[in-house]
A and B are shown apart, each in its own frame.
Chain A
Amino acid sequence: MATTNTSMPVHDAPLREKATLTSTVVDSWVITKRNLYRNVRLPQLLLFSTVQPIMFLLLFTYVFGGAIGRSLPSAAGGEYINWLMPGLLVQISVFGAGQTAIGLTDDLAKGVIDRFRSLPMARSAVLAGRTFADLARNAAVLTLMLTVGFAIGFRYQTSFWAFVAGVLLALAFSYSLSWVMAVIGLYVKNPEATQSAVFLPVFPLVFASSVFVPTETMPDWLRTFADNQPITTVTNALRALMLGEGALLEGQDLTTQLLISLAWIVGITLVFSLLAIRAYRRAVD
């Protein structure tokens, strides 16, 4: 009677006893792939995550371009889009990171996280897979933005490799912010509330920065804040990489901006990945 059913023998494959480095990598990849499918197959998500940045690009270029263009540093080559593009790459990276929070709360609400936690998989794979997938999506969105940007007149003023370094810096920044967003999502938990919660800190930070306009016209108190917050620093580094140091304000240089940016990115990633792992443990308890 030991073989009543041949199609489903009971546990004949080796069972996973503990998470190893290999299993962590494999699990992270499985989760990344799963999240990427969502990006590709959810038409609304695909539409809004690509249309919105392009809309920003076109609106800012054509609405503000004329007015702002005159007061720009000469490094911009007299074109607002040259000035705008590095800023927008950063802005879209920041907005894109918000998807990390939304995706996580969605999984929490639907019980998917419960399922993952009941499986013998690496714990860290859920967060790693989420942030990697969002990084990949951001890379795709930035590529698309750049394509449109080039089509409507954006030209980097430095070298190709400096330009590529700038794009990579924006992606690294978006990855670090994904961890911040993961923390927000895991604490807020509710998908609808998260939508608003992520944009609450994002909007003032993006506007009170050098993303859209040079900070020198801002009132002193705001300028002090703007010049020292990470979005400005990363934007400055991107501009210096893509347009040359002439795009920076007096007293700023590429090396400093780049180093401060990297320090922010590493610091944010370290602090918030630890917080996110803690929040992940708490969120499901």
Chain B
Amino acid sequence: MTASATARQEVGSLDTIVDVEGVVRTYGEIRALDGVDLCFEPGIIYGLLGPNGAGKTTLIRVLATLLRPQAGSVRVAGIDVLAEPTRARARLGLAGQFAAVDEYLTGRENVEMVGRLYGLPQTEARRRAHDVLERIGLTEDATRRVGTYSGGMRRRLDLAASLVGRPQVMFLDEPTTGIDPRNRLELWHLIEELVATGTTVLLTTQHLEEADRLADRIGVIDRGVIVEEGTADELKDAVGGAVLELTVAAELLPRARQVIGEVTSEEVAELDGRRLRVAARAGSRTLTEVVRVLDGAAIEVDDIGLYKPSLDDVFLALTGQPTAPADAQGPEEDGQPGVSGTASPRTGRRAARRSR
């Protein structure tokens, strides 16, 4: 049984942990949220994916009771956030885009303080702070001032500080933006552990890799509206089936194009001087057929691969915008042609997580 399924059992009584209907929030002329509907069950990681300015942060702020919408209803953990914000706050945790930790307090003092503000008695706050720090591997640094922490440590502390209140749902606004790949991996593990222990997570991200790896369900948000929703695979399927890409010598390109067009009865697109792309409706059978006819025509193939559309393609198709620049999130692994794969590297990694 997966961790998510277990968690769903534990939380039990609630069908939906987040239930947002028709939420509108404007800033003057700008409609930051333009009728958002969002609803999901406890025990999962929900990934909210969208370009800059899509409304991700605004939605998180509405959910975390920081911002009142002009219209719509918001329920978190079964509580009407607009009517009873304090009750909702007792059940939610927030980690924003910046590590909101006090530099002049120690790690332990930071976590303890948040515990006190969740309404815990001193001794309980201390006990839980100890547990939380152990979980995030900061026990050794607990008595040091946060001012001496690295960026990654601060992020972990920021994320973990809310755990002291044992929230049913955590809202994480771009939790890994601006941190290096190693620390990103650590944060990902932390988020996965969080869900394994029964906390629901809603995270926003501009990075497809993150959504693909972490999220059980993804909502694509653009111009204040959720434009599409589903699992990563569902979203990819919605955009179209698999694509075959191959590279041949430039002088062989026109012939290769003709031959492939005949065998697949599809339009063959030329990507640059040496690469071709064609829809592979029959998946790997298309691949086999193409290889066979090219072999028959004595056209040597330098590189060939079958790709499922990446979330990048999904994103582009839905929002008309390319995703965040690659440099912000480390090397992009997507779209690198390779001879072996019948699926993108991401899909493989995702499968690995599922089977754990």
Q: List residues of chain A with CB under 8 Å of any chain B CB.
A: 1-2, 4-5, 7-13, 15-19, 23, 26-27, 30, 34, 37-38, 41-42, 110-112, 114-121, 284-285
Shortest distance from the beta carbon of A285 to any chain B beta carbon, whole Å: 6
Shortest distance from the beta carbon of B149 to any chain A beta carbon, whole Å: 14
Which residues of B90-114 are within 8 A (CB) of A? Answer: 90-94, 96-100, 102, 104-105, 109, 113-114
Quick check: B105 and A37 within 8 Å, CB to CB? Answer: yes
Asked whether any CB of chain A lies closer than 8 Å to the CB of B250, the reply is no
Shortest distance from the beta carbon of A130 to any chain B beta carbon, whole Å: 13
Q: Chain A interface: which of B28-36, B116-124, B281-289, B297-305? A: B116-124
Asked whether any CB of chain A lies closer than 8 Å to the CB of B16, the reply is no
Shortest distance from the beta carbon of B178 to any chain A beta carbon, whole Å: 14
Asked whether any CB of chain A lies closer than 8 Å to the CB of B166, the reply is yes
Asked whether any CB of chain A lies closer than 8 Å to the CB of B165, the reply is yes
Determine which of B6, B97, B98 lies in contact with A1 in the assembled complex, contact meaning CB atoms within 8 Å. B6
Residues of A with C-beta under 8 A to B91: 11, 15
Determine which of A8, A16, A18, A111 lies in contact with B166 in the assembled complex, contact meaning CB atoms within 8 Å. A8
25 A–B contacts, CB within 8 A, in A order: A2-B9, A4-B196, A8-B131, A9-B166, A10-B166, A10-B198, A13-B120, A16-B90, A16-B119, A26-B116, A30-B113, A30-B116, A30-B117, A34-B109, A41-B104, A111-B96, A111-B97, A114-B100, A115-B100, A118-B65, A119-B114, A119-B118, A120-B87, A120-B89, A121-B89
Quick check: A4 and B94 within 8 Å, CB to CB? Answer: no
Identity of the chain B residue whose Cβ is nearest the Cβ of A40 in the assembled complex = B104
Quick check: B90 and A17 within 8 Å, CB to CB? Answer: yes
Asked whether any CB of chain A lies closer than 8 Å to the CB of B1, the reply is yes
Per the bound structure, the CA–CA distance linking A8 and B197 in Å amounts to 7
Shortest distance from the beta carbon of A30 to any chain B beta carbon, whole Å: 5
When A19-B86, A23-B119 are in contact, do A34 and B65 touch as well, CB less than 8 Å?
Answer: no
Residues of B with C-beta under 8 A to A112: 100, 102
Residues of B with C-beta under 8 A to A38: 102, 104
Using an 8 Å CB-CB cutoff, how does the interface string of B148-170 with A read, 1 for contact, 0 for none? Answer: 00000000000001010110100
Query: In the complex, which range does the number of interface residues on chain B fall in?
Result: 35 or more
Quick check: B10 and A115 within 8 Å, CB to CB? Answer: no
Quick check: B198 and A115 within 8 Å, CB to CB? Answer: no
Per the bound structure, the CA–CA distance linking A86 and B355 in Å amounts to 75
Q: List residues of chain B with CB under 8 Å of any chain A CB.
A: 1, 3, 6, 9-11, 61, 64-68, 86-87, 89-94, 96-100, 102, 104-105, 109, 113-114, 116-120, 124, 131, 135, 145, 161, 163, 165-166, 168, 196-199
Per the bound structure, the CA–CA distance linking A19 and B118 in Å amounts to 11
When A10-B168, A10-B198, A284-B66 are in contact, do A34 and B102 touch as well, CB less than 8 Å?
Answer: yes
Determine which of A23, A27, A117, A119 lies in contact with B165 in the assembled complex, contact meaning CB atoms within 8 Å. A119
Residues of B with C-beta under 8 A to A9: 166
Per the bound structure, the CA–CA distance linking A42 and B89 in Å amounts to 31
Per the bound structure, the CA–CA distance linking A42 and B10 in Å amounts to 44
Determine which of B100, B105, B199 lies in contact with A10 in the assembled complex, contact meaning CB atoms within 8 Å. B199
Quick check: A110 and B166 within 8 Å, CB to CB? Answer: no
Per the bound structure, the CA–CA distance linking A34 and B113 in Å amounts to 8
Per the bound structure, the CA–CA distance linking A121 and B65 in Å amounts to 12
Quick check: B119 and A118 within 8 Å, CB to CB? Answer: no
Residues of A with C-beta under 8 A to B87: 15, 17-18, 120
Determine which of A18, A41, A120 lies in contact with B118 in the assembled complex, contact meaning CB atoms within 8 Å. A120
List 17 additional A-B contacts (Cβ < 8 Å) besides A5-B197, A15-B90.
Answer: A4-B10, A5-B196, A8-B197, A10-B10, A10-B197, A17-B90, A23-B119, A41-B145, A110-B98, A111-B97, A114-B94, A115-B114, A118-B64, A118-B89, A118-B92, A118-B94, A119-B118
Identity of the chain B residue whose Cβ is nearest the Cβ of A7 in the assembled complex = B131
Per the bound structure, the CA–CA distance linking A117 and B93 in Å amounts to 11
Determine which of A10, A17, A26, A285 lies in contact with B67 in the assembled complex, contact meaning CB atoms within 8 Å. A285
